[in-house]
Amino acid sequence: MSIFPEKEIALYLQSSLTAKRWQHTLGCQQMAIQLAERYNVDLMKTRQAALCHDYCRSYTPQQLLQLAVELNYEPQPMEQQIPMLLHGPLAAALLHRDWHIDDAAILEAVQYHTTGRLNLGVLAKVIFLADGIEPNRDYPGVNKLRKLAQENLDAACLAFLQSNIAYLDQKGMIVHPLSRQWLEQLKRNIERTAYK
């Protein structure tokens, strides 16, 4: 693996993201490192994945769709409808193409930080959760989630995912199929461990 260009990527993000989104990125990194220490995840990879997770978040929906064409990424029907869902997958593709990042765990964490997926790796779970409970986040139940995150990573991912899906369902918005599949898998895994 080539040397990770952390300073260069940080400078790019600081100039391309809004001040609020940059603060979110730093908060996500801070929370991710806490979780990585708790669950024995590689700290350097965690730091890098958290830094990069919103690499394409400043793109407009039209820019994301154009970028998908440029990268030969065929959007799923749902991503065509809601192009912002492309910001994770396209970020992973750009990090690989432009910065020569080839670590599978980092790329997975960036690609699936919004939706999750079946058999998500531990680093990706850490980034998914840190994105939602970093210190700048303020919504009902976030402190409870932060506490749960220190006790059981899968249970915290499940609780956060359930909360997200309930919110989308309540608003009549579409839920990504990957999220629903992961939700069911997390439920099954937690039930199995409860009966051991």
Structure token pair of residue 56: 């394409």
Q: What is the pLDDT of residue 2?
A: 65
Q: Which of 61, 60, 54 is nearest to 82 (CA)?
A: 61
Q: Which phi and psi (to 5°) does residue 5 adopt? A: -85, 65
Give the torsion sign (CA, 177, 21, 44, 160): negative
The predicted structure's pLDDT at residue 195: 66
Parts of the chain with a pLDDT under 50: 1
Single pTM value for the model: 0.95
Q: What's 6-138's CATH class?
A: mainly alpha
CA–CA separation, 43 and 172 (whole Å): 38
Each domain of the chain, given as residue ranges in start order, spans 6-138
Asked whether the CA dihedral 55, 58, 59, 61 is positive or negative, the reply is positive
Of 19, 26, 58, 31, the residue nearest 160 (C-alpha): 31
pLDDT in tens, 30-84: 999 999 999 999 999 999 999 999 999 999 999 999 999 999 999 999 999 999 9
CA 148 to chain centre: 18
Of residues 128, 106, 85, the one with CA closest to residue 5: 106
